[in-house]
Structure 1
Amino acid sequence: MSRQLQRPLRTGELGSVFWTSIGVAAVFVAWAALFTENLNRVTAASLNWVTTSFGWSYLVVTLGILIFLVFLAFSPAGGIRLGKDTDRPEFSTPAWIAMLLGAVMGIGLVSYGVAEPISHLAAPPHGLAEPNTHEAAVRALQYSYFDWGLHAWAVFAVFGLAIAYSTYRKGRRPLVSQLFTPILGNRVNGPAGKAIDILAVFATLFGTATSLGLGALQINNGMGRLFGVPVNSVAQVVIIAAITVVFTLSAVTGINKGIKVLSYTSSTLAVVMFVFMLIVGPTVFLINLYIESIGVWAGDFFRMSLQGTAFGGLAWMQLWTYFMLAWWVSWGAFVGVFLARISRGRTIRGFIMGVLTVPSLAFFTWFAVFGGAAIHVDLFEGGDVARQTAADFGNAFFATLEHFPLSGITSGIAVLLAVIFFVTSADSNTYVLGSMTSNGSLAPPRSVLVLWGILTGVTAVALMLAGGLSALQNTVIVTSLPFLAIIACLAVSFAKELASDVRHETKNPTEPSRTSVQKEKADAAH
C-alpha cells in the first residue's frame, strides 16, 4: 500500500468510522422497523446470554475501576495536573462543582427519583426484607444509592481522566482510540483504533436513545395528567420527534448561550423543587431515613458491589443492577468528554475526589427526599404510588406530587424539567457523536450533526415501538458489553502511561517532563 493511502485523516475529515457507524445504525433501525418480532427475540436471547455468562463482569470491572481511582487519588500521581505543569483550572472550584451538578441533573432524576425506591419498597432487592416494611424502605434507598452512586461516577471519572490527560497533557486528538496509545502504539490509527471508536459511537448512540425513550415516557405521563394527552406510543413518538428537532437545531446552530440558560434554569428549578418537597414533606422522617439508609449502604457496600446470580435473582439484576451499570458504561464516552472539557488544569486528585463525591451526594439526597416522600405516602398515608408505578413507570413522580400542595404547579415544573434535561443531554450527545465520527473535530460539520440527531431520534422511536422500556433496557445491556471491555482496557492503558511518566519524572526531577515537552510540541504544531 502506498504511503499516500496510509495518510492519517485530518481532524474533521470523514472516514471509515463515520461511514461504518452510519451504515450499521441505519441497518439496525431498518431491522427494528421491518422485523420487530425478530429483533425482540434476538435481543431477549442475547440479553439472557450476556447477563448469565458475563453479568459478573459489570460488577467486577466497575468496582475495580473505583478502587483504582481511590488508590490513584492518594498516590504521588494525584498531584499531576491535567495539562501542562504550569496550567491552572479554567473554572473556580464553586463553578466547577456547579457544572458537575449540572451534568448529573439529567432525565434520571425525574424518571427514577421516585420510581426506583418505591419499586424496591414493594419488591425488596434479593428478598432482603418483607415488602412495605421499615426494613424494605431502608433497603429501597440503599440499592438506589448503589445504582446511582460511586460505580456510575467511577466509569465517568476514568473516562474523563484518560481523555483529559491524553488531550491536554499529551496533545492527542480527543478520540477514545487515542487513549490506547500506551498499549497499541501507532496501531490506534489503524483498524484496531477504528474498531474502538465505532464501539464508542454505538455505546453512546444506544445510551442516548434509552434516555430519549425514558424522557418521552415521563413527558407523556406528565402531559397526560396536566392536559389529558393520551398516554400511548403515538404520543411518545410525537414527543421524541419534536424534541429531536429542537436538540438537532441546537447542536447545528451552536446556540451555546441558550443551552447554558436552559442548564441554569433546570438546575434552579430542581433545587426549588427539592427544597419545596423537603419543607412540605415529612421532613423529620426523610432526615432519619436518609441517615439510616446511608449507614446501611456504607456497611453493605462491598457485598452489593459483588452480589451476583449464583443462587438466582437474574431477572431482578437484568431489570436493575445490570441495566444501570450498562447504561453508565454506554454514557461513559459522552460524560467523560464533558468532564475533560471543564477540568483542564485540575490535579488528578482534585478531579477524582470531586467527580466521585459531589454528584453521588446530589443523587443520594434527591432520592432520599423524593423517594422517601413516596415511601411515606404508601406506608403511612394509604397511598398507591407503588401500584401506579408498577402499572406505568412514568407515573411514579407525578403520583407522588399529587399527595402534596400545589401539585398542578409542581407537576408542570417536573414536565418542564424533563423537557430541558431531554434537550440539553441529547444536544451534547449529538455533538459528541459528531466529533467521534469526524476524527475528533471540535467543530463537526453541520451535516454530520443533523444526521446523528435524526438517527438518535429514529433509533429511540424504533426501540420504543419495538417493545417500550424493556426493549430500551435489553438493547443497552447487550450493546454495552463490548464497550465494557474497552473501559477495562482503557483503565489499564491509562495506568501504564501514568506509571511510566511518574517514573521518568522521579528519575529526572530537574528536567521538563516528557508530557510537558510533548504537549508543547503539539501546541506548536497546531
Structure 2
Amino acid sequence: MENDQTHHANADRRLGDPIVLGLSIGFIIVFIGLSVYDIDMVADGIASGFAWTAKHMGSYFQLFLLLTFFIAIALAISPAGSARVGNRRDPELSTFKWLSIIMCTLLAGGGVFFAAGEPVYHFVVTPPAFDTEAGTVDAIAPALAQSFMHWGFLAWAVLGSLTAVVLAHSHYDKGQPLQPRSLLYPVFGEAVMKGAFGSVVDSLCIIAVVAGTVGPIGFLATQVSFGLHELFSFPEGFTGQLMILVGLGAIYVTSAVTGIERGIQFLSRYNVFLALAIAAVIFIFGPTLFLTNAYTQSFGEYLSSFFSMSTMTSTDAPDWWMQWWTVFFFSWFIGYGPLMAIFVARISRGRTIREMILAVAVLAPIATTIWFTLLGGSGIYYQLTDVIDLTEALNNFQFDVATLTVAQALPGGWMMAVAILILTTIFVATTGDSMSYAISVVCTGHDEPNMFVRAFWGITMAIMAGILLYMGAGQISALQQFIVITAIPVSLVLLPTLWTGPTSAYAMAREQGVVS
C-alpha cells in the first residue's frame, strides 16, 4: 500500500509519464506541422489509411463489438454481477448524477450532431440492409433502425462494460493505476506496467481520444457559428468560430479543473434537465402519434434486423457506405473505449457490476434511441410532409444544416433552435471535460490528477481545434478519420477484455464472498 502511495505521489509530482506526454504532444505537433507544410498530403494520406482500415478491418471491428456486448450482458446476469466496484457498500454518486454523467459522455460526441440528420439521411438514401423505397412511409422504420444500430447497444457496450470491470478490479483491488496499460496486465504482467511498452499503449489511447474529441469541438464551433448566422445574422467565419471555441474551452476547462464531484456532474445534470425539457416539448407539441408509432416500429425493426445490420460487410454494401457509416462509427467508439472505461470505473465506485453494465450497455442506448426518434423522427416527418427538404444538404454530409433545419421546423421555431444549440454546446463541453480529466488520469497515473494537467489538456484540445479550423473544416474531418486508423492498435488493447472481463468479475465476486 505504501509503495502504491509513493507511486501516486511521484506520478503527481512528475505531472505525467514523460514518454506518454512526449508521444501524445508530439503527435499533436507533428499533425499540425505537417498540415501547415502540406495540407493535401496529410488529408490524402489519412483518407487512404481510412479507406484501407474500413475495407480490411471492418468485419473484425464488428465482430469485436458484438462479442463485447453479448459477453457483457451474460456477465451482468451471472452471479458475479452482484460484486461491487471498489469494494464499497454505498455508491459515491447518487443514481441520477451517475446516470447523467454516463449519458453525457457518448451522446455528446455525436448523438447531438447526428441525431437530427442521420435518420433523415437513411430515409432519403436507403441503407444497404433494406430494400425499401427511399422517401416513402415504408422507409421510416429502417431509417431509424439503422441509426439505432450505430448508436445503440454495441456502441455503448464497447465504451464501459467489460473494460470498466477489468479496470475497476485492477485499480481498486490490486492498486494498479487507472491507465490503459492496466488492461494488458493480465496478459503481459509487470512488463507492461513499468517499461516503455506500457507508455506507448497509454499514448496510443490518448492520441485516439484527442482525435475523437478535437473533432466534435471543432465541428461544434462551425455548427454554432452557422446557427447564429442563420438565426441572428451574426457574421459567419473564422473569427466567430474562434470566439465560440474560446467560450466552449472556458466552460469545459473550468469544469474539468473543478473535478467530477463539482463541475463535471453539475454540467451533466444541467444538460440532462435541458434535454428532458426539449424532449418533452417535441413529444407533446410535435407529431406525437407519428413519433410514438415510429419508435415502436423502428425499435422492433432494430431488434429483428440486428444481426443483418451489425454483420453487414463490403460484399453486401458499397465500400463508401460501410466506410462512412458503420465502420466509421464503430472505430470511433473503439478509439474512445479505454479512456471512457477509465471514466466509468472512476465514477462507479459502490455500484454493482450488474448496475454498471446495464446502465452503460442497456439503459443509455435505449435513452439514445428515444432521443434519435424525437429529433430524427421529427426530421423524417417534416421531410415526408414537405415542410423541409434536406436531400441535397445530407448528400453533401452537411449535418450542421440538418440539425438547424429540423430544429427550426420543431414547435417553438427559433427558440427551439437556440435551445438545441445550447444543448449541443454543453454536450460537447461534457465530452471535453470528461476526456480532459481521463487523459490527465492516464498521464499522471493518479485518480485526482493535478489541476494544471487537466487545464493543459483541455486548452491543448481547444487550441488544436482552432488551428485546424483556421486551415478549413476539411482538416477537422481528416482528424476525425484518423481515429479510424488508431482504432486498430486500440482494439488490440481492448481485445483481452473479452476473457479478462469475466475473470476479473469473478475474482471480485470471490474476494467479496458473493460467489464461492
TM-score (norm 1): 0.88
Matched, 1:449 2:470: no
Q: Using the TM superposition, give the Cα deviation of residue 151 of structure 1 relative to its aligned residue in structure 2, in angstroms.
A: 0.8
- Measure the CA separation in 1 of the matches of 2:275 and 2:258: 27
- Measure the CA separation in 2 of the matches of 1:234 and 1:425: 24
- Measure the CA separation in 1 of the matches of 2:238 and 2:511: 59
Q: Using the TM superposition, give the Cα deviation of residue 268 of structure 1 relative to its aligned residue in structure 2, in angstroms.
A: 1.4
Residue 97 of structure 2 contacts residue 269 of structure 2 at CA under 8 Å; is this kept in 1? no
Q: Would the alpha carbon gap of residues 97 and 495 (structure 1) be closer, same or farther in structure 2, given more than 3 Å must change?
A: same
Where does residue 396 of structure 1 map in the other structure?
Answer: 402
Where does residue 413 of structure 2 map in the other structure?
Answer: 407
Matched, 1:381 2:383: no
Residue 180 of structure 1 contacts residue 493 of structure 1 at CA under 8 Å; is this kept in 2? no
* Residue identity opposite 2:166 in structure 1: A
1:101 to 100, 103, 109: 103
Q: Would the alpha carbon gap of residues 160 and 502 (structure 1) be closer, same or farther in structure 2, given more than 3 Å must change?
A: closer
Query: 1:80-108 CA deviation, whole Å, 9 max, x = no partner?
Result: 22122x63323444553344334455253
* Residue identity opposite 1:227 in structure 2: F
Where does residue 3 of structure 2 map in the other structure?
Answer: none
SS of structure 2 residue aligned to 1:53: helix
Where does residue 324 of structure 1 map in the other structure?
Answer: 329
Where does residue 475 of structure 1 map in the other structure?
Answer: 482
Query: 1:215-269 CA deviation, whole Å, 9 max, x = no partner?
Result: 2232122212222134445543443344234433443465963554333222111
Where does residue 515 of structure 1 map in the other structure?
Answer: none
TM-score (norm 2): 0.89
Residue 124 of structure 2 contacts residue 391 of structure 2 at CA under 8 Å; is this kept in 1? yes
Within-5 A mapping of 1:162-241: 162-188=166-192, 189-232=194-237, 235-241=240-246
Where does residue 66 of structure 1 map in the other structure?
Answer: 69
Q: Would the alpha carbon gap of residues 311 and 94 (structure 1) be closer, same or farther in structure 2, given more than 3 Å must change?
A: closer
Matched, 1:141 2:141: no
Q: Using the TM superposition, give the Cα deviation of residue 499 of structure 1 relative to its aligned residue in structure 2, in angstroms.
A: 5.2
Aligned length: 501
1:277 to 265, 276, 282: 282
* Residue identity opposite 1:163 in structure 2: L
Residue 227 of structure 2 contacts residue 421 of structure 2 at CA under 8 Å; is this kept in 1? yes
Residue 105 of structure 2 contacts residue 434 of structure 2 at CA under 8 Å; is this kept in 1? no
* Residue identity opposite 2:90 in structure 1: R
Q: Would the alpha carbon gap of residues 311 and 374 (structure 1) be closer, same or farther in structure 2, given more than 3 Å must change?
A: closer
- Structure 1 unpaired stretches of 5+: 1-6, 510-526
- Measure the CA separation in 2 of the matches of 1:278 and 1:469: 34
2:422 to 401, 416, 436: 416
Within-5 A mapping of 1:340-359: 340-359=345-364
Where does residue 122 of structure 1 map in the other structure?
Answer: 124
Residue 170 of structure 2 contacts residue 176 of structure 2 at CA under 8 Å; is this kept in 1? yes
Q: Using the TM superposition, give the Cα deviation of residue 123 of structure 1 relative to its aligned residue in structure 2, in angstroms.
A: 0.7
* Residue identity opposite 1:236 in structure 2: Q
Which one has the largest radius of gyration?
1
Let me know the Cα RMSD of the aligned residues.
2.6
SS of structure 2 residue aligned to 1:309: coil
Matched, 1:22 2:22: no
Moved more, 424-433 or 465-474: 465-474
Q: Would the alpha carbon gap of residues 178 and 280 (structure 1) be closer, same or farther in structure 2, given more than 3 Å must change?
A: same
Within-5 A mapping of 1:221-300: 221-232=226-237, 235-252=240-257, 257-300=262-305
Q: Using the TM superposition, give the Cα deviation of residue 440 of structure 1 relative to its aligned residue in structure 2, in angstroms.
A: 3.1
Where does residue 494 of structure 1 map in the other structure?
Answer: 501
Query: 1:135-176 CA deviation, whole Å, 9 max, x = no partner?
Result: 222111001101111111111122322222222232221111
- Structure 2 unpaired stretches of 5+: 1-6
